[in-house]
């Protein structure tokens, strides 16, 4: 079974993706039970995810500067 795992298992808190393979935790956890077509879809998305993850933080900040984030404090 093909896997993008590179044995660099660390989740980037900024992106929510593994810094090694660029999958989400849900994708990693369900990889072995995913249908082949679902795994292929994830594999096809990985290059774009890697490009996005490799952007400098200042570029990402500029892209997100117009977004408003709110948080409820309980």
Greater pLDDT, 61 or 31: 31
Average pLDDT over residues 40-58: 87
Alpha-carbon torsion, ordered 25, 27, 33, 39, to 10 deg: -160
In the prediction, which pLDDT does 54 show?
80
Q: What is the mean pLDDT of the chain?
A: 82
**Closest listed residue to residue 26, CA positions, set 36, 11, 13, 14:** 11
Contact 61, 20 (CB under 8 A): no
């Amino acid at each position: 079974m093909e896997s993008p795992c590179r044995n660099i298992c660390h989740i980037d808190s900024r992106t929510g993706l593994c810094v090694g393979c660029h999958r989400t935790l849900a994708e990693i956890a369900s990889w072995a039970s995913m249908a082949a077509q679902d795994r292929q879809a994830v594999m096809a998305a990985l290059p774009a995810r890697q490009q996005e993850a490799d952007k400098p933080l200042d570029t990402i900040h500029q892209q997100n500067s117009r977004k408003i984030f709110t948080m409820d404090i309980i």
